[in-house]
Amino acid sequence: MLLPPKIKKHMPFFRDIFQCFFVWRVAQATMQDIAQADAIVTMAQGLLKNGKPSPGDMVLANVVRDLHRRFPDKPIIPQEPVALAAPEIPYIAVAKPPQGNTLGFSTMAWNTRTVARFDATVCLKNGWRTVAFVATPYSQPRTQWELERCGLRCMAVSVPPYSKKLYDHPLSIYWYGRGGAWRDLLVEALRGRLHYLSYWILPE
């Protein structure tokens, strides 16, 4: 069916609204898919107050270890907490927060968007355009949106589903990561949608 030009012009806007509010599932890549990726990148859950990786970071690090074992020649670019949780893996680069933000708090200068831009800069400089990304289940949509906005083709690596035991800790630097699934999931969902919507609410 041919759409009138006026409606066709606004389709990207309607698509974005629909994707932001109704499409919240991310397709999980198979090992065959990941084998085709040029590189592997990670996000992180955030350190503990004592500067050690959180349980969620350990979960992501274990996924990275498995990927490195399966694909030893594939370059890996982790966010710092994951690199700290798996220091034995050789990394091409590590996404670290700006000086002065020693625990990597999420700020205007350090968040999923800036990590994605760091990853994209390293990848595109090396001619890598397809990445497999490792992120917590509730931040996968935000991660995919940000990496795609940076010009990368990306696929989500499957990680263990959310559970308090695997992802929460009373010493997390983030209050919503100190226990309580609803608190954690609702905050992450809101952050993800705000990241996505801000591209056309606050154009750069």
* Separation of alpha carbons 19 and 41, rounded Å: 23
Which residues neighbour 191 within 8 Å (Cβ) at sequence distance 6 or greater?
A: 106, 112, 139, 142
Confidence class of residue 134 from pLDDT cuts 50, 70 and 90? very high
Q: Residue type at 89? A: I
Asked if residues 77 and 133 have their Cβ atoms less than 8 Å apart, the reply is no
Q: How confident is the model at residue 12 (pLDDT cuts 50, 70, 90)?
A: low
Tokens of 26: 């991310």
Give residue limits of the domains in the chain. 27-99+110-201
At 107, the pLDDT band (50, 70, 90 cuts) reads: confident
Domain 27-99+110-201 falls in which CATH fold?
A: Rossmann fold (3.40.50)
Q: Indicate whether 185 pLDDT > 80.
A: no
Looking up tokens 């670019």, which residue turns up? 77
